[in-house]
């Protein structure tokens, strides 16, 4: 797997872009990471997609990882949607004959859903991993407080694998501080936009979620998915899994399900 780092000019500054390649790709994939983290945490996902002959792109979102912007501050999710559009455009420019798949996790699931609602014609398929499109009353309820408490994301919420939480807690590119009021307000607005943004039409969509997800609770996510589902939605709910299904103890199963979905809906040519 060949990895290169580069950058793109985003809506509010330079964004850091990871690219993982293979000599003869059959598809292009764009990964959109979640809140407070960075795209480098998805190298193992990129590896699985590259082994399936994919050309993979993932940017650190505004205010995250190595990209510019105040840490963990998002004032308007539409900025992230626009930046994702720039990454999709880069993938399409470098591989004009290949289908493009968009994969969004958590907060990135909101961004990916909004992009698909507005620009689904640019995509061949969509994968939503633990999307936060249904919100979390415990987190969004913090907005009602006169002062936000210092409550960062608990690493134990991510996976049943304790090493995932340990690496997250030790990662200097992860935001370990509290939520910011402007970010939470923007999150509420983004969830409302998703709810009002229409369904996904005939875009092949795979929704995967952890049954015991404490950050994007399944019950809230399901209602939101039902509102935006199109005619080609598939779902996989993993028993006992927490928020980061891509980092769970059954991650090999999850990644295999994603690859199998892509192979099927994209009707990919055989690898030589």
Please write the tens of the pLDDT for every residue from 52-62.
Answer: 999 999 999 99
| Residues above pLDDT 70, as percent of the chain | 98
Question: Does residue 89 register a pLDDT over 90?
Answer: yes
Question: Does residue 51 register a pLDDT over 60?
Answer: yes
Q: How confident is the model at residue 1 (pLDDT cuts 50, 70, 90)?
A: low
Cα–Cα distance measured from residue 206 to residue 259, given in angstroms and rounded to the nearest whole number: 11
Active-site pick, 16, 95, 209, 243: 243
Question: Does residue 169 register a pLDDT over 90?
Answer: yes
CB 156, CB 165: distance < 8 Å: yes
Pairing of strands 100-105, 2-10: unpaired
Cα–Cα distance measured from residue 124 to residue 251, given in angstroms and rounded to the nearest whole number: 24
Residue 243 among the catalytic residues: yes
Active-site pick, 60, 79, 83, 213: 213
Residue 257 among the catalytic residues: no
Report domain 2-266's class. alpha beta
Mean pLDDT estimate for the chain: 96
CB 13, CB 67: distance < 8 Å: yes
User: What's the pTM?
Assistant: 0.97
Active-site pick, 106, 159, 209, 257: 106
Q: Is the dihedral of CA 142, 146, 152, 156 positive or negative?
A: negative
The domain locations on the chain are 2-266
Residue 5 among the catalytic residues: no
Residues 6+ apart with CB under 8 A from 2: 20, 21, 22
Q: How confident is the model at residue 4 (pLDDT cuts 50, 70, 90)?
A: confident
């Amino acid at each position: 797997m060949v990895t290169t780092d580069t950058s793109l000019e985003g809506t509010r500054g330079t964004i850091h872009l990871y690219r993982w390649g293979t000599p003869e790709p059959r598809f292009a994939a764009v990964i959109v990471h979640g809140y407070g983290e960075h795209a480098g945490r998805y190298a193992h996902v990129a590896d699985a997609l590259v082994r399936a002959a994919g050309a993979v792109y993932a940017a650190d979102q505004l205010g995250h990882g190595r990209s510019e912007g105040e840490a963990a501050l998002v004032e308007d999710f539409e900025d992230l949607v626009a930046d994702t559009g720039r990454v999709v455009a880069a993938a399409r420019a470098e591989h004009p004959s290949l289908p493009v798949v968009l994969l969004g996790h958590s907060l990135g699931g909101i961004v990916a859903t909004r992009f698909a609602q507005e620009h689904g014609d640019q995509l061949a398929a969509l994968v939503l991993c633990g999307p936060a499109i249904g919100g979390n009353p415990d987190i969004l309820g913090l907005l009602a407080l006169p002062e936000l408490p210092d409550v960062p994301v608990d690493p134990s919420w991510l996976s049943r694998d304790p090493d995932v939480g340990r690496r997250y807690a030790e990662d200097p590119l992860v935001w370990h501080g509290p939520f910011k009021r402007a970010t939470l307000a923007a999150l509420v607005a983004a969830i409302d936009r998703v709810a009002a943004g229409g369904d996904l039409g005939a875009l092949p969509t795979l929704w995967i979620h952890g049954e015991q997800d404490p950050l994007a609770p399944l019950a809230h996510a399901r209602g939101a998915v039902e509102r935006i589902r199109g005619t080609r939605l598939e779902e996989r709910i993993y028993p006992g899994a927490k928020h980061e299904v891509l980092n769970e103890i059954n991650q090999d199963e999850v990644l295999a399900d994603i690859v199998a979905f892509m192979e099927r809906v994209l009707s990919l040519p055989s690898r030589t």
